[in-house]
Structure 1
Amino acid sequence: MTNYSKLGFTTLAMCLFVACSNDKGTEKQEKIIPVKIMNVEALRTTSSQSYVGTVEESVAVSLAFSGMGTVEQVLVSEGQRVRKGQLLATLNTATAENSYQSMFAKQQQAQDAYDRLVKVHETGSLPDIKLVEVETGLQQAKSMAAVAKKNLDDCHLVAPRDGVIAVRSVEVGSSAMPAVAAFKLVSVEKVNVKIAVPENEIGKIDEGQTARIEVPALDNTVFYRKN
């Protein structure tokens, strides 16, 4: 009887031990937490800065009369778009016209004299040296007429290229002088935008960064360009 009791007690103890062991294993399994591994990357935040700048032309040409005179006509205004060869202004042409007509008349006289003497020379009645003198006089007359014609043409100032009149410095009745600008002609097909950036903010601007440009003069039109 005693042996059966001991055996039963031993069996019960083993069952309890096994049960306790199974409970601990279950508890450990429930505490396992899934973990996902991710690569840490640095994120760059963006910020915007506002600056005041100016829009400048890429090409600018100063136009002046080649000669002196009184301005008789001004045919364009500031801000007006012009085409190559378009007449911009004229000087009084009275003096230049008279000079040209006089030189042209002398050229015709020299030409007539030369034509007559050539025929005489062909008959042998005129020495060669005399014909050379007449020919030289004709060339001089042609040169003087050409100079007078250029002076007359210079009374007209034309646009050398397409563009916009940015500055008009002459008015009707004013005196024009050589090399004194009468107009400033600019090309606006391509413009430059210049801004002043403080030294401590230059490092925040990267090459190739896109800039948002708002132009109040064009009804706040917005353009996007890369620097």
Structure 2
Amino acid sequence: MRPYIIIMSSIFMLVACSSNKDKEKAGETIPVSIIHPGTGALGDEISASGSISSEEESSLSFKVGGIVEKTFVTEGQEVKQGQLLARLNSSELSEQLRQADLNIAKLSRDEGRLQALVKDTIATVESLQNAQTALQTSRSQKQSILYNLSQTSIYAPCTGIIVRKEANEGEFKSPGAPIYVLASNAGKKKWVFKIALSDQERLKLKQGQQANVRLDALPGRNFTGKVSRLDKVPDAATGTYTCYISLDSADPSLVYGLSGHLSLRLTSDGSSETLIPLASLSGLKDSTAFIYVLNPDTTAKKMSVHIRQIKGAEVSINEKLGQETAIVTYGKSNIREGVKLRIVAP
């Protein structure tokens, strides 16, 4: 009887231990590093440095030329819509307005006198009409002067940040010359990453191509975006073309001027492939393998992929994966499908 009791006790202990282990496994999380897939042509890539800018930038200038009398804001300063930013010296235009008023007064007297003379048949109707035309012309010139006077001040067209100041008090500025560059931050902020490209690189790019951006001030973070604008005219000073990458993220940590590095896949024929790191593959056999991706509930999902090409540390696959797909790189050897994952820095 005693051996039977000992055996039964041992069985109960094993069952209890197994139950505890199952409970531990149910609550475990596996630390992993992830990366998002890229698109493009394998091995053909642009790498360039640039900086964060606002999607909505305005170059502010005076319609008329003149001497800058006063600047009210400086670089980096936040401004409100309608705020006065700069003013030209308007002395010359004010004098032109005074002379226009004098000329209108004289021509009005001439018109009145000629009307009386025409009634007495002393002056011709033609001379009266000429005087009336001259009076109307002078009044139109006055309106033009008044409009130019209204353009001697620059007001902020929207709420934003002054990112560049290109004039100082006492400088002469011709019509249209930039005085300020204003980056809008009204409403939802839309950030772009600006880079300069050579003519050969410019011709290979197309709008909508995917890009990855890493910022120096935010190490370990990867920002995705698309080519949203390509300048058609090179910069006069550098001869390069500016490219704008609209970032998908509205991360509050993004601020104007952050510098960083961009990697962008080029496509010569417009086709694109899904690109993933070689380190993310498991069970490689012939042209197939599998990867682990994160489900929305942070559990692991095993996915089969078909390999098109391997080059260096990168692989192109047939499957189309969205930019938001999180692919496990580090830690995949410890994963089982359905287990909870915990993302850590690579």
Answer yes or no: is the 8 Å Cα contact 1:69–1:176 preserved in 2: yes
Answer yes or no: is the 8 Å Cα contact 2:86–2:155 preserved in 1: yes
User: Residue 206 of structure 1 aligns with which residue?
Assistant: 322
Shift of 1:207: 2.5
Counterparts of residues 1-227 of structure 1 (less than 5 Å): 47-48=33-34, 54-118=51-115, 121=118, 126-189=123-186, 190-192=189-191, 194=193, 195=213, 196-197=262-263, 203=276, 206-208=322-324
Identify if the C-alpha distance between structure 1 residues 176 and 131 changes in structure 2 by more than 3 Å, giving closer, same or farther: same
Shift of 1:107: 1.7
Q: Counterparts of 2:325 and 2:74 in 1: how far apart (Å)?
A: 38
Gaps of 5+ in 2: 1-30, 37-48, 194-212, 214-261, 266-273, 278-320, 327-346
Give per-residue Cα distances to partners, 1:14-61, cap 9 Å, x unaligned.
xxxxxxxxxxxxxxxxxxxxxxxxxxxxxxx963359x9843201111
Larger radius of gyration between Structure 1 and Structure 2 = 1
Q: Counterparts of 1:160 and 1:111 in 2: how far apart (Å)?
A: 40
Shift of 1:89: 0.8
Shift of 1:136: 0.7
Q: Counterparts of 2:168 and 2:125 in 1: how far apart (Å)?
A: 56
Equivalent position SS for 1:108: helix
TM-score, normalised by the number of residues in structure 1 = 0.59
Answer yes or no: is the 8 Å Cα contact 1:58–1:188 preserved in 2: no
TM-score, normalised by the number of residues in structure 2 = 0.41
Answer yes or no: is the 8 Å Cα contact 1:71–1:90 preserved in 2: yes
Gaps of 5+ in 1: 1-44, 211-227
Shift of 1:98: 0.9
Identify if the C-alpha distance between structure 1 residues 53 and 168 changes in structure 2 by more than 3 Å, giving closer, same or farther: closer
Equivalent position SS for 2:62: coil
Aligned length: 164
Shift of 1:91: 1.5
Q: Give the residue type in structure 2 aligned to 1:57.
A: S
Answer yes or no: is the 8 Å Cα contact 2:159–2:185 preserved in 1: no
Shift of 1:96: 1.7
Identify if the C-alpha distance between structure 1 residues 172 and 198 changes in structure 2 by more than 3 Å, giving closer, same or farther: closer
Q: Give the residue type in structure 1 aligned to 2:34.
A: S
Identify if the C-alpha distance between structure 1 residues 122 and 103 changes in structure 2 by more than 3 Å, giving closer, same or farther: same
Q: Percent identity among equivalent residues? A: 24
The structure that is helix-richer by fraction is: 1
Answer yes or no: is the 8 Å Cα contact 2:165–2:179 preserved in 1: yes
Shift of 1:153: 2.6
User: Residue 23 of structure 1 aligns with which residue?
Assistant: none
Q: Counterparts of 1:139 and 1:131 in 2: how far apart (Å)?
A: 12
Q: Counterparts of 2:100 and 2:163 in 1: how far apart (Å)?
A: 38
Q: Counterparts of 1:148 and 1:77 in 2: how far apart (Å)?
A: 29
After superposition, the CA RMSD in angstroms is 3.3
Shift of 1:129: 1.4
Larger relative contact order (Cα-Cα within 8 Å, sequence gap ≥ 6): 1
